Chains A and B, each alone.
Chain A
Amino acid sequence: MLGRIGIARRSAYRFYHSVDHTVSRKSSIDHVILDKALTYIPRFGFHEQCITQAIRDMSYPDSLSGVFSSGNNKDFEVVLHWLKFNRNKLHGDILDPTDQFHAIKNEYDRVTYLINKRLESNIAIKPYLHQALAQLVVPYNIPSSLEELHQLSDDIAFYAGDNSNDFAWYLKRMGLSTVYVSSELYMLQDTSENFRDTKEFVKEKVDSLRSLGTGYTNIEQWAAFNGISLINLIKSQLLRG
């Protein structure tokens, strides 16, 4: 009997789990071209010119740009790769054992650190950041944009040490995505020295996420307690006949 349950459990489909979203096939030609194209963003912005230039640098014919499935929309290809590249960089950074990240113990403080770290990558291309954001909200691109955003918030939650396994899993990721997007938009307008205001903004938002989390846990406990009490009440009334 026990054995059968064990087998059933093992074969059951897991609806949520954390996965490692690394960019696949790093040595493939499309990946190499895009990596090179990223170095041209400070010069051309998020424009397909970056890809054209990268291909030319490798002395391949212009026709090679057909390797990208996005066809006409190569600007977005650059944007998407930029996001993936920086998400991976985040992963690489915290793998470094000397990184100060490892000294932070609290989950939410880690989140703050990671979001700030990710936003730092934007500084170099800040004059063009609005182009990237504009591409991301084009309706046709939204599915890919949201997927990438979810993967970023999933990574951040995972590195921060999130181990929720109920509905909080979704709430946390949605919350992190909201915080990240609003912080990035805030950064767009931020003129303070060293983006001090943005850092303050991130801290504030993560704090409210933290209190939201506490609130959520409280409501969950309250609902569970009252639910059980209600059942017990009904049971006792039924027993009385």
Chain B
Amino acid sequence: MNVRSISLASRNVWKARNIRFYSQSNNKETTHFGFKTVDKEQKEDLVKGVFSSVALSYDVMNDAMSMGVHRLWKSHFINRLDAGMRPGSDRPLDFLDVAGGTGDIAFGLLDHAEAKFGDIRSTMTVADINADMLREGEVRYGKTKYAKEPKQRVEFMVQNGEIMDKIPDNSKDVYTIAFGIRNFTNIQAGLNTAYRVLRPGGIFACLEFSQVENPLVDYIYQAYLFLMLPMMGQLIANDRDSYQYLVESIRKFPKQEEFKGMIEKAGFYVPDQGYENLTFGVAAIHIGVKL
């Protein structure tokens, strides 16, 4: 408890200084950027800055931080969704992977659809607000078998997940977002947009960091997050601030039940319990269905 309270106290001092730095005029609407409070217009740029600076070392860092577990989560997420055009169906599915920069979910979904259902017609749109992350994804795409197909099925586009101006209403069947939605300035707007672009019967699936429910495990996890991660960011990616932001944004993200409520508020039907905790709730899968 001591370690955390001391580090939180010192950060509060640091935070107080930064608030002044970011909020020049007091009458603007503000939101949180990690533990800092910033103007709403600024958050988008700040998040862009974080991901531009981590784009290249993104996967190495993910592996180091989660000790490889993020690969298991993603694989479970894809299996859980079990999406793909079933044999005998007359219409291929349209996938949309938002904040899917590096494309691991996107290619994973297509691989699953082909391996399990022999689906080689469904299309994939990878959208990300950050052009640097998207470029990283396109480089990887070049190395997959999908790049060699005569008819291109994968498409990359720079899109703000809250607006999605290039994606028409009722045009997608599966909307996935893995470790992206907590960076949205307005999460509810992002969910409403997801509802807008999905067809009836379409499914919204979100994999995101969440809150550990067991207090003892949570204590250890918090200590790990706040003490180890920024240091690893410094040592491996030479970028302490970006990883400090990641840690704080994980803390700020709504709890499972609260986020489930937001999904329902956007209009989705939430089946069963509504979410599935992974590794004590470090991450959680949320599902919503547009009816």
Contact = CB atoms under 8 A, between A and B. Distances in A.
Nearest to B274: A69
A211 interface: no
Contacts of A74: 82
B272 A62 contact: no
A109 interface: no
A72 B80 CA distance: 6
Interface in B76-113: 76, 79-86, 89, 91, 93
Contact of A65 (B82, B91, B200, B269): B82
A67 B199 contact: no
B84 A62 contact: yes
B203 A71 contact: no
A189 interface: no
B287 interface: yes
Interface residues on B, range: 20 to 34
Given A61-B91, A63-B203, A72 B82 contact: yes
B202 interface: yes
Interface SS, B side: mixed
Nearest to B78: A71
Nearest to B176: A66
Contacts, number: 69
A67 B271 contact: yes
A29 interface: yes
A61 B202 contact: yes
Interface string B241-277: 0000000000000000000000000000101110010
A71 B291 CA distance: 20
Contacts of A55: 201
B173 interface: yes
Chain A at the B interface: SS class: helix
Interface residues on A, range: 10 to 19
A30 interface: yes
A191 to B, nearest CB: 35
A55 B81 CA distance: 15
B202 A67 contact: no
Given A61-B173, A69-B272, A71-B79, A29 B291 contact: yes
A64 B93 contact: no
Most chain B CB within a 10 A radius of its CB, from A56, A65, A74:
A65
Contacts of A56: 86, 89
Contacts of A62: 83-86, 89, 93, 173
Contacts of A29: 269, 271, 289, 291
A216 interface: no
Interface string B56-88: 000000000000000000001001111111100
A81 B66 CA distance: 37
Interface string B105-130: 00000000000000000000000000
Given A28-B269, A56-B89, A69 B82 contact: no
Which of A55, A66, A67, A74 has most chain B Cβ within 10 Å? A66
Interface string A40-57: 000000000000100110
B174 interface: yes
B205 interface: yes
14 contacts: A29-B291, A30-B272, A52-B86, A55-B201, A56-B89, A62-B93, A63-B203, A64-B201, A67-B287, A68-B271, A69-B80, A69-B271, A69-B273, A71-B81
Interface of A: 28-30, 52, 55-56, 60-69, 71-72, 74
Given A30-B272, A56-B86, A63-B93, 16 more contacts: A28-B269, A29-B289, A61-B173, A61-B201, A62-B84, A62-B173, A63-B174, A64-B201, A64-B202, A65-B83, A66-B174, A66-B289, A69-B80, A69-B276, A71-B79, A72-B79
Closest 3 CB pairs of A and B: A60-B201, A71-B80, A63-B173
